[in-house]
Amino acid sequence: MGASGTLRYRLARDVSLPLLLAADSARRSVRRALRPKRKPPAWAGPPLQCADRLRTIMTRHYLLARHAAAAMPVAWVTSGAPVELLRAMGFYTVYPENHGALCGARLAGLDMSAPAEHAGFSQDLCSYARIDLGLALGARSPVGTLPRPNVLVCSTNICQTVLYWYKQLAHHYSVPLVLFDTPFVADDLDDGTLAYMVGQLEALIPQLEPIAGRSFVPALFEPILLRAQRTSLMWGEVLRSMTRRPAPMTIFDAFAHMAPVVSLRGLPVAERYYELLLKELESRVSRGIAAVNGERHRLLWDNIAVWFKLGDFIKLFSQAGCVFVAATYTNAWAETVHMLDPKKPLESAARTYSLVILNRDLKHRTALMKSMIKDYSVDGVVFHSTRSCKPYSVGQYDIQRSLSQDCGVRTVLIDADTTDPRNYAEGPTRTRLEAFIEALDLRSPATPSA
């Protein structure tokens, strides 16, 4: 990091990347114009116009990351870590989990995992972790490369795997690992646990300052905190647009459009993006534009997406008039954000990041899903039991039984993975989902779920 590195970064940000992105946009426009015109499926509503803007934003993020290390400190961050602190100290942040999802969606998960498995990491390990460790060991990413980290920032509010995963990365890259430990909240957050987490956040600051090469300035932190809150609140409004009938978008759309709230939260670009997306969705609602024509059944998805099967699932469900209008996964980025308070920044951040769905008991998760079933007028629930995220998958049978009995919804559970196709059985899974859809079709409103 130095004057020359900063200059190169600014030239890339302000000159070369805009030209590159403009050329890419022009190429895609030409390809679309030359592509043979095909009649869209009868079930398909018009695509979201914001999709092109999303592609540009995320492409820019990964391309700019290549130049970031020469100009500023780089932090690799778990998805549940308090990123606002890092932004206030000038870190460029990279999210390996988000990168893993991207690799899975581009069908690169298996190749990316191979070096990690050859090095002895088990196939039973989280496939996001295997992708990331594979990248460290030489795998080629669909985005090219990620910048070498100066520090790793890990929070245990989603799972414990991230801690051991980041320990391996810290050893490999010989960089510091900073931990924000969030004890599991079995019922309510007690004062002692809150004080423990606030103390950790206070301790993070002097650990990060020498790496950042600057002092922490509260006056910079508070506006970033507010911007992150506004961004997440707008994301919540985006999700709530699907309470309308017909739904203007689906959860399959939301799986893609959640990328900025995860990776760019606290930055102006994310806030502006959701202003644009929300405006488009409001327009679609006012005009009655449906994401899926012939909407008949409204569904809830539990757990992370099966990234490598999204296209097949979209077709299977949409052509049957089934629309996913809610998901516990996408909701996690809006669930607790109202707790942020710039007057008590560290205390409110501790509450916000510790009370997310995966750091709480099954009673809370069940109650949340029951509330979503009511608010989104849900007819059925698909549980994804993913081999890669055991904390998210544990207890699903109990929740499934409770929702069936208490809410009268149809439910189905499928075994799969987030990015590893070896853990997915096409025939049995498709048969199970088709039977689920058939049960939705046969069921009358007065008939309780089996």
The pLDDT assigned to 370 comes to: 98
pLDDT of the chain, 450 residues: tens digit per residue: 677 888 888 888 888 888 888 888 888 888 877 788 788 889 999 999 999 999 999 999 999 998 998 899 999 999 989 999 999 999 999 999 999 999 999 999 999 999 999 999 999 999 999 999 999 999 999 988 899 999 999 999 999 999 999 999 999 999 999 999 999 999 889 999 999 999 999 999 999 999 999 999 999 999 999 999 999 999 999 999 999 999 999 999 999 999 999 999 999 999 999 999 999 999 999 999 999 999 999 999 999 999 999 999 999 999 999 999 999 999 999 999 999 888 899 999 999 999 999 999 999 999 999 999 999 999 999 999 999 998 999 999 999 999 999 999 999 999 999 999 999 999 999 999 999 999 999 874 433 333
pLDDT at 447: 38
Structure confidence at residue 446 (pLDDT): 38
Say what the pLDDT of residue 118 is: 97
CA distance 43 to 321: 7
> pLDDT value at position 27?
86
Contact between 308 and 105 under an 8 Å Cβ cutoff? The reply is yes
The amino acid at 327: A
Say how many C-beta atoms besides its own lie within 10 A of residue 46's C-beta: 11
Q: What angle do CA 277, 14, 219 make, to 5 degrees?
A: 70
User: Would you say 253 and 291 are in contact if contact means Cβ atoms under 8 Å apart?
Assistant: yes
pLDDT at 213: 94
What does the pLDDT read at residue 24? 83
The answer to whether the beta carbons of residues 372 and 331 sit under 8 Å apart is yes
Which string of DSSP letters, residue by residue, matches 204-223?
HHHHHHHHHTS---HHHHHH
Q: Is the preceding omega at residue 246 within 30 degrees of 0, hence cis?
A: yes
**What pLDDT is stored for residue 444 in this prediction?**
46
Distance, in Å, from the CA atom of 117 to the CA atom of 96, rounded to the nearest integer, reads 18
pTM for the model: 0.93
Q: What is the pLDDT of residue 6?
A: 85
Is residue 415 classed as helix, strand or coil in its secondary structure? strand
**76, β-bridge pairs:** 94, 152
Burial of 408 (0-12, 13-18, 19+ CB in 10 A): middle
Q: According to the model, what pLDDT value does residue 36 have?
A: 81
* Amino acid at the residue 75: A
H or E segment and range at residue 360: none
With beta carbons less than 8 A apart as the criterion, state whether 266 and 224 touch.
yes
User: Which distant-in-sequence residues (6+ apart) come within 8 Å of 5 by Cβ?
Assistant: 69, 70, 71
Structure tokens that stand for 258 in this block: 């959640």
Is residue 247 within 8 Å of residue 295, measured between CB atoms?
A: yes
Distance CA 366, CA 403 (A): 8
Tell me if 420 sits within 8 A of 108, measured CB to CB. Answer: no
Which tokens sit at 440?
A: 């939705």
The residues near 388 (Cβ < 8 Å, ≥ 6 apart) are: 126, 127, 128, 304, 417, 418, 419, 420, 423
Tell me the Cα Rg of the chain: 22
Spell out where 3-140 has E strands. Answer: 74-77, 92-94
pLDDT of 93: 97
Looking at residue 283, its pLDDT comes to 98
Give the position of tokens 């502006």: 272
Query: How far is 63 from 69, CA to CA, in rounded Å?
Result: 12
SS3 for 383? strand
pLDDT of residue 96: 95
Give me the helices (H) in 319-395, please: 328-331, 345-354, 362-375, 390-393
